[in-house]
A and B are shown apart, each in its own frame.
Chain A
């Protein structure tokens, strides 16, 4: 009976993603873009959550894994004939290799995951502010290298002619895969050990948890998922290096914090809620009419609103909109009194 009861917690995140995808399928093509974007954002934020949420250690570096994933999937899926046009200096093996959609996504995850593992080997020894600054350094270095090293990608050029396979279906499936993996991880003994270390490092150590190893595992897994999200992203829109830098780092962190950093439910709610707000404001920047009341806000309002909201949430409700808890169905619990939670 244990498995079904724990799976209840998966209903919220999965249901929300499926609902978003279904609604997205009924709207016009121009509006559908916003739904796809929101679903890709869910993948990124859940990937970020796997490390930040479970370990309680801040990371400014995850967008570098998204970038590495996007570069991997992008470079490998542009048709060979098109590569010289905007990537003239590619290494031979990259120039002559083209893979299919699914392979490119898997490779994006694997390359980013390995990168995260290598980066994590030294970095996971740090904690607190030093960890925050070090992950920031990773973001800066990755961005700097991808920006100028034209043997591995387009440099400052935009990724054009990547097959645009990330439609609503792929974005939703990708988000679901990421959510299920994140859920399986947080219910596993590794996830539990890491969460225990987050709540009380000393007690966790005392019962034999290696905080370093658990953090490293989470970091690598989270890098893998972030890379996958990056692959989804580059298959969705023509990406450029500035698209996977500070702004995206900020937005994804904001989504996680606003939703509630310590639960999967919070990560999904945050990503979808902020995306929805962002889409409405993006529309308002070009002028929209809602219920006969026409909006026209200046360009840039989105970031103002989102950052103000993030600051407000941090000040007034530091645990986020969901309180950092998984979605619980209280009524179900009451109908069937749960056995003692000691095993959990």
Chain B
């Protein structure tokens, strides 16, 4: 019995450190980190967890599929994706987020839950349950050799894209006045308004940035899963949300790390576990989420035992 267990563990460890599994896991972690930043950015300013974030990515996916089916050049497809996602984000901000401002986080979460189902069911009527194919970028799934190991191009591209996007975001937040306004609003919205931060502008900028990140996520995700259905990115969003809460919602970097960590764990476990166990991957990951929430409800990557929310 213990011999079987030991050999199982050895197999698992061998597969877990396999460079390809590692690269794929990091690629997935990078995409999840981008989504986590998008969710964290909106939460920071509006105190609202956007459950409908995945449906923005789904809309972006359908835009890419639309372009790909008509044989548009890749750049045009990405442009359409960005326009659709950012446009939808702004509409959502205007007609849902803004009126909800000031309500409890839980009821805002339920409201965005409703918006998520609304967008999903609209997509179902519009495109049908089978979805469309976005295949303009599938060649990125081909392997590329780095030294002696082969990894899929998309893993490298995802990681690079995430790093560039995050670097740009850090520059924006730290070096521009709108970035300063956003950080102020994230710390204390009412006081920030008192000293002249324009609430609507800040909230719109946060939502646009989150939309840009969602569009990026859509482009990267459609490479891995080219079939865009109405439930596209739904599962990923649930996992990222868990990751964001896990990492710590209060700060952008802890939320990002949480997103990356959960994507990475998901990737490694998914790549290394044998099939009869990997079907329980969701259970493993969410059990981990519960354990972490119990041990550190304020987040894994936050400093000190600061209580985020009193009962």
Contacts and interface: CB of A to CB of B under 8 A. Distances in A.
Interface of A: 57-58, 122-123, 125-130, 132-134, 136-138, 140-141, 144-145, 148, 201, 211, 246, 250, 253-254, 257, 298-304, 306-308, 310-311, 314-316, 318
A299 B106 contact: no
B105 A128 contact: yes
Given A307-B117, A308-B118, A311-B118, A126 B294 contact: yes
A132 B104 CA distance: 13
Contacts of B124: 299-300, 303
Given A127-B309, A314-B100, A300 B121 contact: yes
A300 B125 contact: yes
A250 B279 CA distance: 24
A211 B311 CA distance: 9
Given A127-B309, A314-B114, A315-B99, A304 B122 contact: yes
B140 to A, nearest CB: 30
Given A144-B282, A145-B280, A300-B124, A314 B111 contact: yes
Contacts of A308: 114, 118
A307 to B, nearest CB: 4
Contacts of B249: 129
B115 interface: yes
A126 B310 CA distance: 10
Given A304-B118, A314-B107, A133 B293 contact: yes
Contacts of B282: 140-141, 144
Interface stretch (B19-27, B64-72, B154-162, B238-246): B238-246
B289 interface: yes
A302 to B, nearest CB: 8
Nearest to A205: B311
Given A128-B106, A129-B109, A134-B293, A298 B286 contact: no
B49 interface: yes
B242 A304 contact: no
A137 B109 contact: no
B294 A122 contact: yes
Given A298-B125, A300-B121, A303-B121, A129 B309 contact: yes
B283 interface: yes
A144 B105 CA distance: 27
B287 interface: yes
Given A300-B124, A310-B114, A314-B100, A137 B242 contact: yes
27 contacts: A122-B290, A123-B290, A125-B294, A127-B309, A128-B106, A128-B309, A129-B105, A129-B106, A133-B245, A133-B289, A137-B290, A140-B282, A141-B282, A201-B311, A298-B125, A300-B124, A301-B121, A303-B117, A303-B120, A304-B118, A307-B114, A310-B111, A311-B111, A311-B114, A311-B118, A314-B107, A315-B111
Interface residues of B, number: 42
A136 B235 CA distance: 12
Contacts of B297: 125-126, 130
Nearest to A304: B121
Contacts of B293: 126, 130, 133-134, 137
A148 B279 contact: yes
Interface in B280-301: 280, 282-283, 286-287, 289-290, 293-294, 297
Contacts of A132: 106, 109
Given A129-B105, A300-B124, A303-B120, 20 more contacts: A126-B297, A127-B311, A130-B297, A133-B293, A134-B293, A137-B287, A137-B289, A137-B290, A138-B290, A141-B286, A201-B310, A254-B114, A298-B125, A304-B125, A307-B117, A310-B111, A314-B100, A314-B111, A315-B96, A315-B100
Contacts of A250: 113-114, 117
A193 to B, nearest CB: 14
A141 B287 contact: yes
B290 A58 contact: no
Interface centre among B113, B118, B249 (most CB of A within 10 A): B113
Nearest to A310: B114
Interface string B255-294: 0000000000000000000000001101100110110011
Contacts of A129: 49, 105-106, 109, 245, 249, 309
A140 B125 CA distance: 26
A137 B111 CA distance: 19
Q: 9 closest Cβ contacts across the A-B interface?
A: A303-B121, A307-B118, A137-B286, A307-B117, A310-B114, A314-B111, A311-B114, A144-B282, A58-B106
A134 B289 contact: yes
B148 interface: no
A3 to B, nearest CB: 33
A307 B121 contact: yes
B100 A136 contact: no
Contact of A133 (B125, B242, B283): B242
B103 interface: yes
A257 B103 CA distance: 14
Nearest to A249: B113
B110 interface: yes
B236 to A, nearest CB: 13
Nearest to B47: A129
Contacts of B121: 300-304, 307
Contacts of B234: 246
Contacts of A316: 99
